[in-house]
Amino acid sequence: MAPLNLLMVGTGEYTTGFVGGGMSGSDKKVGVVGLTMFDLRRRGKVDKLSMVGTSGNKFPAIREHLHKNITQVYNGLDTSFSSFPADDKRDADAYKEAIDALSPGDAITIFTPDTTHFPIALYAIQRKIHVLITKPAVQLLEHHQKLLEESRKHGVFVFIEHHKRFDPAYADARYKAKNLGDFNYFYSYMSQPKSQLETFKAWAGKDSDISYYLNSHHIDINESMVPDYKPVKVMASGAKGIATDLGCAPQTEDTITLLVDWVKKSDESKRATGVYTASWTAPQKAGVHSNQYFHYMASKGEIRTNQAKRGYDVTEDDAGLVWYNPFYMKYAPDEEGNFAGQTGYGYISFEKFVDAVTTLKEGRVTLDELDKRGLPTLKNTIATGAILEAGRRSLDEKRPIEIVEENGVWSLK
């Protein structure tokens, strides 16, 4: 079968590493999605690549950025792509034209503001296009279930880019958790520095929040560790004052903590507690771009992992002490000068999607079988979606929110 044709929706930091007219100041200086897809094309797994944003006038600078920082760094790696809209146009609905240029069985990635995920994904699904969505999948539980329904109706695969599932330490921890008995307690923390608020200022606190953006990582990990449990209640707390001082919208929370009650599906007398904290107002020079750790406790044991400092640090006169994470994306070339980050869990996440779509199109696997593999599909991430919306509603309504699941249908009360 011919390699997969793929459209990248969204041209920002995660796709290209291009932010505000130049290279991102984060750890994603040359992006993740684009670089991965260019390399997968080199390896013969994808073919025609395209990219769509809202402002076509960015594309000349993006192409120059990719040529300088990818093609010239990785042995002439081809960074060519078709683009929408035209360089002289601005069109918030350009994704429709770009998706219409695809054929049924092609695929898209969605790395755009959270509020846009649902309409873009739905438009693609209804045209039989396979979809990868950055987390969170969507902001509303209703939308999550609608996409699941439509994806089954049109026979397409929808994958949520919860890359932490493929972090080797987290993946191993999920496996070991199976033998530790009943779930009892989970605590996680994830943060990014205040500089990220410059990148996200256009939507931070207005269109989405830090819980959707960062807590989604660990809530998904927790959900995937305890498939025999379900969440039933969420209470959220938010801290404010830092982001607003930096010019963000008045309602922007700096740090959000969710307190979640879980029950065992087969025995609701067995209950567990999940606590998930996320912040985007961490210190600028903390040495890591993202603190990330969790503690899982069960009836027969516990697991602790801190994935911010991985035994690898670099000290420079200008930057000071920095802990890098090449396990996520390794940007150093190999001995022949080619990109060599295929073992990074950021890269693996996209390759899993491409391989799943290919095997599905070849008839070697079904959508139900892909769900059973434990991949972050729409079906396997619905509890995460419920918790995230319940957290937002709890903050807005200043009360606990109940999560109800009956015969596979989820709702909030």
Question: What tens digit of pLDDT does each residue of 55-109 get?
Answer: 999 999 999 999 999 999 999 999 999 999 999 999 999 999 999 999 999 999 9
402 pLDDT more than 70: yes
In a 10 Å sphere around its CB, with 0-12 CB exposed, 13-18 middle and 19+ buried, how is residue 304 labelled?
Answer: exposed
In a domain, 141, yes or no: yes
- Same-domain pairing of 72 and 179: no
CB 19 within 8 A of CB 31: no
Q: Give the CATH number, domain containing residue 135.
A: 3.40.50.720
- Same-domain pairing of 310 and 224: yes
In a domain, 334, yes or no: no
Nearest to 49 by CA among 88, 72, 16: 16
The pLDDT assigned to 205 comes to 73
- Same-domain pairing of 322 and 181: yes
Q: Which of 263, 296, 326 is the last residue of a domain?
A: 326
27 pLDDT more than 70: no
- Same-domain pairing of 127 and 11: yes
The pLDDT assigned to 29 comes to 80
Does pTM top 0.75 for this prediction? yes
Query: What are the φ/ψ torsions at residue 357 (nearest 5 degrees)?
Result: -65, -40
> Which range of residues forms the domain containing residue 29?
4-162+347-376
CB 410 within 8 A of CB 378: no
In a domain, 399, yes or no: no
Q: Is 183 helix (H, G, I), strand (E, B) or coil?
A: strand
The pLDDT assigned to 189 comes to 97
- Same-domain pairing of 320 and 291: yes
In the chain, how many domains are there? 2
Greater pLDDT, 82 or 311: 82
Model confidence at 319, pLDDT cuts 50, 70, 90, reads: confident
Lowest mean pLDDT of 23-32, 189-198, 390-399, name the range: 23-32
In a domain, 403, yes or no: no
- Same-domain pairing of 206 and 109: no
Average pLDDT on 42-61 reads 97
The pLDDT assigned to 310 comes to 82
Q: Could you give the angle at which helices 117-125 and 141-154 cross, rounded to 10 degrees?
A: 10
- Same-domain pairing of 174 and 154: no
28 pLDDT more than 80: no
The pLDDT assigned to 244 comes to 86
Q: Give the CATH number, domain containing residue 286.
A: 3.30.360.10
In a domain, 395, yes or no: no
The pLDDT assigned to 253 comes to 93
